[in-house]
Chain A
């Protein structure tokens, strides 16, 4: 065993730097989660006084906490549904375009927003959705009332849902288009001989063959259901829309970093990490069972 280890020394040495860094910045924070059960005092650090479940009890009683859970699930759910339906339909329509160059051009255009940060996207949103922005100018021109997309609690969640789908659907389109091009064209020819027209071909051939990819993408996004999009919401929300727009992550940030209530913030984070972990493991198991997909 010792001689074996000696032979392998180079391999273990290669792993050491990564192991140390992961230990410090991923595993020590896990240990740091104990502050959720303490009354964190910066002077005492992780040796602060233990308070048991007090922080959790305190948080769960807050009406704001229930509200953030609801807002998170609400926006996540519709983002997930739209994030599947829109790219599937767009990919199906794009697949009907015969000329490859044209197909690629459309794909190129819709894939751009995907790579820009939410800071830049928020800069654009604030400009075009503002009261004197181009969208409201269009509404006024058409004789409609201007809409406060980012300032009204009833509009805000839907603005988030639509703009999130807008930014992200190019990626899904690329994935589904790749799946569509791998379908055997012989199947369509056989269907045509049997008298099936385009619409029927889509229902009976294309959609069933696309299903594994659709299921895979759905299942993989299930693990993210508690992430309703911190980057997006943090950059676009304001106290006026906390009622409908505040999510778990923005709540943790305000409690923990801005108000320096480290222990309470950590308690909310602890709760979220546990639930997210369960969902992620479930989604990986499902992805493997249903679509035979595994990453490790």
Chain B
């Protein structure tokens, strides 16, 4: 490109960098502040002394979070949910996407199947009827209530289907001539080729399952069954009560930490897994967009 070295251009670059840095800081500083609060003493936080660096550094708020069994119990529920939920999502999506990637001559009623799935993207029964069905199928207080209602994410399944359609037909034809059946072809030939698309939709599922909190709140009567995000949601309203419940010596606890430091620590702990896989998220969520659309 042609270089433009005029004074106006230089001024523009300076202002531009300032705006970009300012906006980026606005996105990041709240997290830095949260982290600083979580490591500060309650006195410093109450006095408004904490900005972006901890004051009277201590780890009491984290010790409190990790000492109580509520945090670990809900973390365990979340881990089960992410592993089970993502596996079931992936298995069902692959099993549905493969036949649907065929023409209607090869799979009778393909159009009907497709319409059956797509309709659920456009129209849904809404919160109350879905809740009543989950109640009637006996899933209340079971981890399956968090997995089965969304067992087949239709949007992701369509991404996989479009990806399969983009593969050259010869691959399958030659395998058929060699006598391989549909299941053999899917497992031995197509699955390895599907890897990049599976990574994308798998990450969609992982983030979706990890971040979901509302289903936990409505489908679990016993808070012991809450996944982590649902448990964190309860902290938004009632952290004081959790501190009261946890300690016989509440005043002593209050001297070391308060609602703000305690909540900040647990929010940060809840964000760590997402931040840890962030590089993958950034990479695959963008490719997912490209994979998902059919231009034409």
Q: Which residue of B lies closest to A94 (CB)?
A: B20
Complex interface: chain B residues within 8 A of A5 (CB): 108
Is A82's beta carbon under 8 Å from chain B? no
Extra 19 A-B pairs, beta carbons < 8 Å, given A117-B270, A128-B34, A280-B121? A5-B108, A11-B99, A22-B116, A25-B133, A26-B125, A29-B126, A29-B129, A35-B129, A97-B17, A108-B282, A117-B213, A119-B211, A128-B30, A166-B26, A192-B2, A256-B128, A265-B127, A292-B295, A296-B114
Evaluate contact between B263 and A116: CB separation under 8 angstroms.
no
Q: Which residue of B lies closest to A34 (CB)?
A: B129
Contact partner of A262 (CB less than 8 A), chosen from B33, B95, B128, is B128
Given contacts A97-B16, A123-B232, contact A15 B293 (CB under 8 A): no
Given contacts A19-B116, A257-B218, contact A266 B129 (CB under 8 A): yes
Is A204's beta carbon under 8 Å from chain B? no
Which of B63-71, B191-199, B247-255, B271-279 has 4 or more CB atoms under 8 Å from chain A?
A: B271-279
Contact string against B for A residues 193-230, beta-carbon threshold 8 Å, 1 for contact and 0 otherwise: 00000100000000000000000000000000000001
Smallest CB–CB gap between B269 and chain A, Å?
Answer: 10
Q: CA separation between A296 and B111, bound complex, in Å?
A: 11
Q: Chain A contact residues (Cβ within 8 angstroms of B): what range?
A: 35 or more
Evaluate contact between B123 and A17: CB separation under 8 angstroms.
no
Given contacts A117-B211, A175-B289, A270-B126, contact A127 B264 (CB under 8 A): yes
Complex interface: chain A residues within 8 A of B294 (CB): 294-296
Smallest CB–CB gap between A241 and chain B, Å?
Answer: 15
Evaluate contact between A25 and B127: CB separation under 8 angstroms.
no
Complex interface: chain B residues within 8 A of A185 (CB): 1
Which of B53-61, B144-152, B167-175 has 4 or more CB atoms under 8 Å from chain A?
A: B144-152
Q: CA separation between A193 and B270, bound complex, in Å?
A: 55
Smallest CB–CB gap between A19 and chain B, Å?
Answer: 7
Q: Which residue of B lies closest to A129 (CB)?
A: B30
Q: CA separation between A236 and B108, bound complex, in Å?
A: 50
Contact string against A for B residues 79-100, beta-carbon threshold 8 Å, 1 for contact and 0 otherwise: 0000000000000100110111
Evaluate contact between B23 and A29: CB separation under 8 angstroms.
no
Evaluate contact between B27 and A110: CB separation under 8 angstroms.
yes
Complex interface: chain A residues within 8 A of B148 (CB): 21, 24-25
Q: Which residue of A lies closest to B29 (CB)?
A: A134
Evaluate contact between B128 and A35: CB separation under 8 angstroms.
yes
A-B pairs, top 8 by smallest CB distance, nearest first, are A29-B125, A269-B126, A32-B129, A117-B211, A123-B267, A11-B99, A29-B129, A10-B182
Complex interface: chain B residues within 8 A of A22 (CB): 116-117, 120, 152
Contact string against B for A residues 261-289, beta-carbon threshold 8 Å, 1 for contact and 0 otherwise: 01001100110110001001100000000
Is A33's beta carbon under 8 Å from chain B? yes
Evaluate contact between A293 and B286: CB separation under 8 angstroms.
no
Q: CA separation between A174 and B37, bound complex, in Å?
A: 31
Complex interface: chain B residues within 8 A of A126 (CB): 236, 263
Smallest CB–CB gap between A219 and chain B, Å?
Answer: 13
A-B contact pairs, 12 of them (CB 8 A): A19-B116, A22-B117, A29-B133, A32-B128, A45-B136, A94-B20, A166-B27, A192-B2, A231-B213, A235-B233, A277-B122, A280-B122
Contact string against B for A residues 1-16, beta-carbon threshold 8 Å, 1 for contact and 0 otherwise: 1001100101110110
Complex interface: chain A residues within 8 A of B157 (CB): 18
Question: Using a CB-CB cutoff of 8 Å, which residues 1-59 of chain B contact chain A?
Answer: 1-2, 4, 9, 12-13, 16-17, 19-20, 23-24, 26-28, 30-31, 33-34, 37, 46, 48, 51
Smallest CB–CB gap between B221 and chain A, Å?
Answer: 12
Contact partner of A272 (CB less than 8 A), chosen from B122, B126, B155, B274, is B126
Contact partner of A30 (CB less than 8 A), chosen from B9, B51, B125, B267, is B125
Is A109's beta carbon under 8 Å from chain B? yes
Is B137's beta carbon under 8 Å from chain A? yes
Complex interface: chain A residues within 8 A of B120 (CB): 22, 26-27
Contact string against B for A residues 113-126, beta-carbon threshold 8 Å, 1 for contact and 0 otherwise: 10111011011101
Smallest CB–CB gap between A45 and chain B, Å?
Answer: 7
Q: CA separation between A117 and B149, bound complex, in Å?
A: 20
Q: Which residue of B lies closest to A1 (CB)?
A: B108
